[in-house]
Structure 1
C-alpha cells in the first residue's frame, strides 16, 4: 500500500511538469504505474499542475517571516528565563549557606553554654540566645 501511494505521488509530481499519461498495470496481483502502455492496463490522465499563485507565495513568505520573528522572541524569553533561574539558584545557594553557618554558630554557642564555668554562664547563655535569634530571624528555624 505504501509503495502504491509513493508511486502515485511520484507520477503526480511528474505530471506537474506537464500533462502526461500514466498507465496502471496489474501483473501477478501487483499494481504498477508506468509511462509505457501495458497489456490490459488502464490509462490514467494526469492533469496539469495548477498555476503558481503569487499571493500564496507572498503569504508563505510573510508567514515564514512571522514564524522566524516568533522563534527569535521565544529564544530571547528562554535565555532570560535561564538567566533568571540561574540568579535565583545563586540566591538560594547563598541563603542556604548563610543558614548553615548560623546553625553551626548556634550549635557551638549551645555547646559552649553546656561546658562553661559557672562565673561565665550568663555571658554564654546570652551568646547562645543571640545565635538562636539570628538563626530564627534569617532562616525561620
Structure 2
C-alpha cells in the first residue's frame, strides 16, 4: 500500500515514506532507507532512528552526528520503537544500527528485556509523539 501511495503521486504521504524506509531497512537496503528518511520534511523520532541506524549500518562518517542531530539516546530509542509498535526483529536490526552509529543502549538495556524505563513508566505506558515539541512524551 505504501509503494502504491508513492507511485501514484509526486507528494508521498509522510506515513508512507516512513513505512518505505522501514521496509528498505529491514531488507538491508540501507542506502534506500536513508534516501526515504531524507524525503521527510519534519523529522520525527522514528525517522531519526531509522536514519541513524541506516548510517550506522553503512559505516558512514555522518552516523555519530546523526545521533546528536536526531536527539537519539537510549531512552528516546526505546520510547520510539515502543510507540511505533515495531516487530521485534526490526527493533533488533534498528538497535544494531544505532549502536554502530554510536548510541549506548546499555542504560535501558535491550528493547527485548526489562529496563529502567519499564520500571518507571510500566510496560503499558501511553507513549505518543508531540509534533510541536519534536519529542516523545510519556503519559501514564
Q: TM-score band, normalised by the shorter chain?
A: under 0.3
Which fold has the larger relative contact order, with Cα–Cα distance below 8 Å and residues 6 or more apart in sequence? 2
Given the two structures, how large is their TM-score scaled by the length of structure 2? 0.18
Mark the structure with the bigger radius of gyration: 1
Bigger strand fraction: 1
Bigger helix fraction: 1
Given the two structures, how large is their TM-score scaled by the length of structure 1? 0.18
